Amino acid sequence: MLAKGIPEQEIFAEWLQRLCLSEYLALFLSQGYDLPTLARATPEDLTTLGITKPDDRKCLVQDIQCWQNVADNWPTDITKEAPTRDWLTAIGLKQYIQQFERQGCLTVGELEQLETEDLEDMGVQKLGHAKRIWLALRKLRESRSFKPKPIQKVSSVQPLPSHNILPSTTLWPCSSNTAAITSTATLRRPQRNPSMTSNPTSGTELPKLREIDQRERESTGHVQFRNSSFGVDPLPDRGPPRLNLYRHIF
């Protein structure tokens, strides 16, 4: 109905007539209530307004709670340094400009520090006007407390420091002498003493040392091989020497 340009006084009259409560029309209008403020009224507000009958108050509250799309035009994008007169004009209460300025409340930031009791001391006598000022201030405070902070722009992206997870392994190349020795050792076969063996194709007997060892084995029950030329036990034949090819890496 507001969008169609119908005055609020007529909207109030039609609403109360539908509820059979037209006797409260003068009360709402004299206390400065408008539709956005009345849409946010509580049962305590109606009691303070003078509606003392419980049934009438319950009927009004239940119908008000069913209202939809009753938006307000109270500003939230106004700065704390803005003049008080601009904010009072925006909420439709410019008649209080001189009273607020006379009390030293010149900016919106000073308005936000007020309490509900301060409004009466500043000359706001109508309950509907005091309720509107308080609701508009609360909306302004809440909008600033939930306002997201601006995102800081990053001038330049710094590269992340590199961290070596595994220690670096240094591979030392083999020298030419080592490579020569390695290749030689790989191809070289162990040489046997020709005096220790006989030619299997000639059919000659083993040296006398083998016969002596054979007799010792029969007499003692175990085999003992001794090298008469060095005086120590000969090492077992392990085949060609094995080279540790990874000794230069680890």
Instruction: Read off the pLDDT of each residue in 188-200 and give the average, rounded to a whole number.
Output: 50
Say if 25 falls within a structural domain: yes
Q: Which domain holds residue 38?
A: 8-66
What pLDDT was estimated at residue 198? 47
pLDDT category, 246, cuts 50, 70, 90? very low
Residue 96's domain is classified under what CATH number? 1.10.150.50
Instruction: State which of 146, 168, 199 marks the end of a domain.
Output: 146
55 shares a domain with 12? yes
Distance CA 169, CA 84 (A): 74
List phi, psi (to 5°) of 4. -85, 0
Query: Bigger pLDDT: 74 or 244?
Result: 74
Say if 177 falls within a structural domain: no
What is the tally of structural domains in the chain?
A: 2
Give me 60's structure tokens.
């009004």
Query: Bigger pLDDT: 23 or 170?
Result: 23
56 shares a domain with 15? yes
What would the pLDDT profile of 13-55 be if each residue is shown by its tens digit? 999 999 999 999 999 999 999 999 999 999 999 999 999 999 9
What pLDDT was estimated at residue 178? 47
Q: Are 238 and 225 in contact (CB under 8 A)?
A: no
Say if 132 falls within a structural domain: yes
Say if 133 falls within a structural domain: yes
What would the pLDDT profile of 62-73 be if each residue is shown by its tens digit? 999 888 778 888
Say if 57 falls within a structural domain: yes
pTM above 0.95, yes or no: no
Answer whether residue 120 shows pLDDT above 60. yes
What pLDDT was estimated at residue 182? 44
Say if 1 falls within a structural domain: no
Say if 33 falls within a structural domain: yes
Question: Whose structure tokens read 């209080």?
Answer: 96
Instruction: State which of 146, 163, 193 marks the end of a domain.
Output: 146
- The least confident of 96-110, 143-157, 184-198 is 184-198
Say if 73 falls within a structural domain: no
Q: Are 74 and 139 in contact (CB under 8 A)?
A: yes
